[in-house]
Amino acid sequence: MSAETSSASKGGDFVSNLGKVYGIYTGGFVGFVILLAILEQMGVPNRIIGYLFVFFTLAVYALIGVMSRTMQVSEYYVAGRRVPAIYNGMATGADWMSAASFIGMAGSLYLLGYDGLAFVLGWTGGYVLVAILVAPFLRKFGAYTVPDFMSARFGGNFARFLAIIVLLCCSFTYVVAQVYGTGIIASRFLGMSFEMAVYVGLAGILVCSMLGGMRAVTWTQVAQYIVLIIAYLTPVVILSAQKFGLPIPQLTYGQALQEIGNLEQSMRASGLAPANMKEHVAPFTSYSPLNFFALILCLMVGTASLPHVLMRYFTTPSVREARNSVAWSLLFIFLLYFTAPAYAAFSKLEVYQNVIGQPLANLPAWIFTYGKLELVKVCGANAVDVQAIIAACGKIAGQGGMLRLQDLAINTDTIVISTPEIAGLPYVIAGLVAAGGLAAALSTADGLLLAIANALSHDVYYKMIDPNAPTARRLVVARVLLLIVAVLAAFTASTRPADILAMVSWAFSLAAAGNFPALVLGVWWKRANSYGAVAGMIAGFGITLFYLVVSRYYPELGATSFGMTALLNPITGAPVVDVAKALADPATANAVLASKVGWFNINNISSAMFGMPVGFAVMIIVSLLTPAPSRQMQEMVEDIRRPRGDVIMQEKAA
């Protein structure tokens, strides 16, 4: 008992000095960046600077992880429930701003233009739902995990088991995307193969989370947020100052858009872009209005349903702090999301001004750097060297030896990392952005892996298999499971699955359909019972998973047996693929039709549009047709909604 008291005392001292600790850390990081900038000017090779950036930041995260190691259950699962709101908001921001946000979102805005705003609006708006509908009430309940809440609210282990299935599916999909992001960054800046880089990233993830659980992850994520926000803002602030004389890109963004529009017109007139090119500010060129707003809704609801996000609000000292920390989360997330559209615009402006229209023999070095990583193609071929692209472009009639817009294909996950090089900024800025992207991917991967391992060790092993397991064994099981899941995620990522943003969107739809109806009705409707929750989770999650898997991987089956038809071009309204022609060749049908067929012209990244309404409807109908919950349960639901009073599960708060 004295050891626990001593530990709590040390933890309290640390919490009271957080401002000083992270102030020193921030100053040290800025000093480190300045030192590397000086080394670059002195002629230190870029490779060495890249290594120093990656290994220094990984070493700091590892140090925090090791210093935060614990053998106390409440510390491992919920950081002792004493994380102040502002720091929990910062940790949530890092947990949230994954490789998809840091690496993928500006790239998608670059590619999609106006339509990419669906991601910004959906992910930001989701935190409003978190604050109003879910987070404070789960904190008042006092659980360790989302499946914990499902089990206690809906009685028994079946609801817990279903919540675990939903958690595993959405979190594993999400964590693979993060490991994939670490692989892209590490392969670029450490000069190793993508497959090897994935496992290097995995090592960084494990040292942060394995020994200290939620306590280590929380304080590491605060450090990672500081790195990622400095890294994200720096290049675009410099570009804004260089081009428009004002280092506030959010205010000069409009001027950048105006220049992009002028360049689009001139490129079309000179034949450097196709006559039907997508204009950056034109709405509904990639998504129809229905798909645009469906995606926003699915991302919003998915945000309020993701277990690794909701877990962060279990760590605050009180219900009030949980609600406050959502507001802080929004502020810290806003800083990046408000900048992402400007980031995409400045990057596109650099490409239009300095790359398009250049002779193939004079293209900048960054094209070949990323071409060797299979992330940039010119005339359909990986841009590995000048000879390769000249040969590829020579096969295209009328190409003319000048780089046209339609000849250049940049992987959307490359835009943020490559922008400093595209703009000709010092290499130290590129290394800084890489460190930020690594921080974003690592912080989210830590949170996701912890959510998966905690569900397996706490909800499966401790609650369902061995309720009498001692603390030490429970935490050993958690760490072993964390390692197994992490290696599986790295192996999956090494196979180079679909792009990051699509994978993350799938995770949101799965969480929205599987968790949201049960969470919201569990808190806000006393009549909801276990029969309804189980039926609703199975129906909603099942339909979403079916639609996602069939439309993406077995579209031939969807078109022939389940009434799926071709999706429509958002501009012309014509089918994007000839289904009958594709079905005529069974050998290639699935490849041709993948993600191009569906129901009611809904893209598979918005598959929760089918599962979520079904989940709500089934849960309500089945609950009304079966006996009401006990009086005691209904009183507990009322108590959850009262801001004041004791935590419901007192034994969990200890």
Confidence band (pLDDT; 50, 70, 90) for 507?
Answer: confident
Q: Say if CB 495 and CB 591 are below 8 A apart.
A: no
| Alpha carbon 186 to its chain's center | 18
| Alpha carbon 406 to its chain's center | 29
Q: Give the SS3 label for residue 631.
A: helix
User: Between residues 445 and 290, which one has the greater pLDDT?
Assistant: 290
Residue 534, φ and ψ in degrees, nearest 5: -65, -45
Does the pLDDT value for residue 654 go beyond 60?
A: no
Question: From CA 292, how far away is CA 606, in angstroms rounded?
Answer: 9
**The tokens 């039926």 sit on which residue?**
535
User: Between residues 61 and 8, which one has the greater pLDDT?
Assistant: 61
Angle of helix 194-209 relative to helix 427-454, nearest 10 degrees, comes to 60
Does the pLDDT value for residue 2 go beyond 50?
A: no
The reported pLDDT for the residue numbered 412 is 81
The reported pLDDT for the residue numbered 35 is 95
- Per-residue model confidence as pLDDT tens digits over 247-261: 999 999 999 999 999
Least confident of 135-149, 242-256, 511-525: 135-149
Q: What share of the chain is helix, strand, coil (3-state, %, to 5)?
A: 75, 0, 20
- Per-residue model confidence as pLDDT tens digits over 575-605: 999 999 999 999 999 999 999 999 999 999 9
The reported pLDDT for the residue numbered 651 is 46
Does the pLDDT value for residue 95 go beyond 90?
A: no
Does the pLDDT value for residue 615 go beyond 80?
A: yes
Mean pLDDT of 146-173: 88
Does the pLDDT value for residue 8 go beyond 50?
A: no
Confidence band (pLDDT; 50, 70, 90) for 536?
Answer: very high
Average predicted confidence (pLDDT) for the chain: 87
Structure tokens at 182: 């670490």
- Per-residue model confidence as pLDDT tens digits over 330-360: 899 989 899 999 999 999 999 999 899 999 9
The reported pLDDT for the residue numbered 58 is 80
- Per-residue model confidence as pLDDT tens digits over 389-441: 999 999 988 888 899 999 999 988 788 888 898 888 899 998 899 888 888 88
- Per-residue model confidence as pLDDT tens digits over 297-333: 999 999 999 888 888 888 888 888 888 898 899 899 9
Q: Which long-range contacts (CB under 8 A, 24 or more apart) does 191-194 make?
A: 191/47, 191/50, 194/373, 194/494, 194/496
| Alpha carbon 269 to its chain's center | 39
Structure tokens at 214: 């939620």
Does the pLDDT value for residue 101 go beyond 60?
A: yes
The reported pLDDT for the residue numbered 498 is 60
Among residues 520, 440, 478, 142, the alpha carbon closest in space to that of 316 is found at 142
The reported pLDDT for the residue numbered 518 is 96
Does the pLDDT value for residue 119 go beyond 70?
A: yes
| % of the chain surpassing 70 pLDDT | 95
Among residues 358, 361, 357, 381, the alpha carbon closest in space to that of 267 is found at 357
Question: From CA 166, how far away is CA 507, in angstroms rounded?
Answer: 10
- Per-residue model confidence as pLDDT tens digits over 9-30: 445 566 778 889 899 999 999 9
Does the pLDDT value for residue 501 go beyond 70?
A: no
